[in-house]
Amino acid sequence: MSSSTTHPAPAAPRSRRRLLFGVLAAFLLLLAAGVAGLYWVDYDLRHPKPDSGRPGAWMTVDRDEVSGFAHVTVPVSAEDVRWGYQNGFQDDFVVLAFRIPQDELEGYKSSLPASEWADKRYVQQVDLDGFQHIGAPAPSTTSPLTCGGFYTPGKAKNIGTRVCVASRSDGTSQVWVSAVHTP
């Protein structure tokens, strides 16, 4: 009889080991799910859906609203007009791109309140990202590139507008406009 009572004893450590492995596996599974959940939340914060109204979301607005925000008029003769409006956490951002006949370029530049026009090679990354978003040609690949800027008083904040222009081989001039609220 004593031998029958000794056999069940070795089974107990094995069941504890299985329980420990089960708890450990459940913990690791929950940990992995938590990390995946945090990644999903972080990705959603970094890439908000269009028209969500969240910071960084590209909103559907009409061309007149974008040109009004930037205080830039799109000429009647403009072709391939593209625009975008990005809702910001504190500062909204707009981009506008179009082509005009080359003989209208100087008149268009003089209609803008830009104080100085200068040749540039560098265009801010936020502008490049915005122009890429709307499918406009990249200003960084164009040479010579002439840029000017101006500030316009706004309701709560001023609007800083940058305009870059370049002649194209097809007899038109490309115009890129970006504007943002400034403190």
Same domain, yes or no: 107 and 42: no
62 neighbors 138 (Cβ within 8 angstroms): no
Same domain, yes or no: 29 and 81: no
120 neighbors 145 (Cβ within 8 angstroms): yes
Distance CA 26, CA 29 (A): 5
Distance CA 118, CA 124 (A): 15
Residue 40, pLDDT score = 60
Average pLDDT, the chain: 80
Please give the radius of gyration of the chain, using alpha carbons only, rounded to the nearest integer: 30
Distance CA 36, CA 33 (A): 5
Summarize pLDDT for 2-58 with one digit per residue, the tens: 555 555 555 556 777 788 888 888 888 888 877 777 666 555 555 556 655 556 667
Residue 34, pLDDT score = 76
Which residue range(s) make up the domain with 12? 2-46
Same domain, yes or no: 93 and 131: yes
What pTM was estimated for this model as a whole?
0.70
Same domain, yes or no: 29 and 99: no
Same domain, yes or no: 105 and 71: yes
Give a yes or no: residue 53 inside a domain. Answer: no
Same domain, yes or no: 64 and 154: yes
Indicate the number of domains in the chain. Answer: 2
Residue 39, pLDDT score = 63
Average pLDDT over residues 79-85: 91
Q: Which stretches of 1-154 are DSSP H helices?
A: 2-6, 11-46, 63-70, 105-111, 125-134
Look at the chain and count its residues.
183
Biggest CA pair distance of the chain: 111
CA torsion through residues 120, 125, 126, 131, sign: positive
CATH number of the domain bearing residue 75: 3.40.1000
Give DSSP secondary structure letters for 11-41: HHHHHHHHHHHHHHHHHHHHHHHHHHHHHHH
Q: Across 38-42, 76-80, 122-126, 130-134, which has the greatest mean pLDDT?
A: 76-80
Same domain, yes or no: 23 and 105: no
Give a yes or no: residue 24 inside a domain. Answer: yes
Distance CA 61, CA 84 (A): 8
85 neighbors 64 (Cβ within 8 angstroms): no
What number of other Cβ atoms are within 10 A of residue 57's Cβ? Answer: 16
Same domain, yes or no: 38 and 86: no
